[in-house]
Amino acid sequence: MAKKIKDPGIGLSSDKLAKRFINPDGSFNIKHINRRTSISRSYDYLISISWLQFFCWVFIGYIIVNSIFAIIYVSIGISAITAPTGNLFGDFLKAFFFSAQTVTTVGYGAMAPKGVVFGVISSIEALIGLLSFSFITGLLYGRFSKPKSSIRFSEKMVLRKHNGQDSIMFRLMSRSTNVMIRPKAEVTLALSRKSKNAKYENNFYSLKLERNQITYLPTTWTIVHPITESSPLAEFSREDLPDLHGEILILISYYDESFTQEVHQVHSYVLRDLKIDETFVKAFDYDDEGYTILDHDKISETKTFKSKD
């Protein structure tokens, strides 16, 4: 009989309409409301978002800072910088370009501030520019140096006979050419069931794997959970498994030589997406010279499994 384990951190309460705990991208499926924010939290945000979002925020900040100082220069009088155009928008553009040269400390020499007021304002802007670019440089370093796992999981999870036993399988590989050192897997089953008081509760079980650790991973690793008598899934027929409100939670840890430390990645599969009597297609082969050829496009490719039993 399967033995329950303690809540791994997800929570025991559930709901009939509860969605999966972990999204396909590895993020936890949680909506935060009434969350307190602070400026110090902006660093975590800016090193976690995508590169496109990051550069969009840098560009937006650059435009806002230069626009604010351009408005100040126009309000005081642009004649202290350059000859007015007689047009408000034209003057704003000239002030904007002067601000851009000041904040980046470029200073082409075509425009220069005259008077103490403009000198003080432009000096303050230059200081803001130096601090801003130092902050952005730190963010760039943080984004590149932040440990990130490079695991790619198969899109599918299959159920087929393995060594004469029904087994659930999924596959993973490294996105990069780096070899994953001592990867290990921890797999937990979360089943949402209706309790005696008609409320839904999460039940957690540790899934025993055929192998939960290997020495290194240069190609692919198919992780196998045999559905033996001790498995929490043994009480269900293979046809009933996709109808269960269940999710398989996965934690993969390995040593990454690029960051010289252990990194982690989470992933999950929901039982309703289980593919029955399918098997993974071999993702690597050998060329005429004997080199191992790993095809990343085949990580999720499957075919119909024909049992020999």
Low-confidence spans in the chain with pLDDT less than 70? 1, 39-40, 307-309
* 72, 131: one domain: yes
* 225, 261: one domain: yes
CATH code, domain with 125: 1.10.287.70
Indicate the residue among 111, 145, 179 that finishes a domain: 145
In contact, 112 and 81? CB cutoff 8 Å: yes
* 170, 293: one domain: yes
In contact, 268 and 250? CB cutoff 8 Å: yes
CATH code, domain with 293: 2.60.40.1400
Residue 7 in any domain: the answer is no
State residue 20's pLDDT score: 87
In contact, 175 and 214? CB cutoff 8 Å: no
Q: What angle do CA 117, 122, 126 make, to 5 degrees?
A: 150
Residue 23 in any domain: the answer is no
State residue 222's pLDDT score: 95
What would the two tokens of residue 227 be? 């559905």
Residue 141 in any domain: the answer is yes
State residue 77's pLDDT score: 86
* 165, 136: one domain: no
Q: Map residue 235 onto helix, strand or coil.
A: coil
Residue 31 in any domain: the answer is no
* 172, 106: one domain: no
List C-alpha distances in Å: 73 to 64, 116, 129, 180, 229.
14, 13, 16, 56, 78
Number of domains forming the structure of the chain: 2
* 165, 256: one domain: yes
Taking Cα atoms as reference points, which of 208, 192, 194 lies closest to residue 272?
A: 192
DSSP symbol at 28: B
Indicate the residue among 110, 145, 180 that finishes a domain: 145
DSSP symbol at 189: E
State residue 68's pLDDT score: 94
Rounded to whole angstroms, how far apart are CA atoms 251 and 8?
Answer: 11
* 100, 210: one domain: no
Rounded to whole angstroms, how far apart are CA atoms 62 and 88?
Answer: 21
Indicate the residue among 145, 161, 178 that finishes a domain: 145
Q: Residue 230 belongs to what domain range?
A: 151-304
Contacts of 271 (CB under 8 A, 6+ apart): 241, 242, 243, 244, 245, 246, 247, 248
State residue 1's pLDDT score: 57
* 113, 163: one domain: no
Taking Cα atoms as reference points, which of 301, 267, 271 lies closest to residue 25?
A: 267
Beta bridge partners of 4: 205
Residue 2 in any domain: the answer is no
Rounded to whole angstroms, how far apart are CA atoms 58 and 64?
Answer: 10
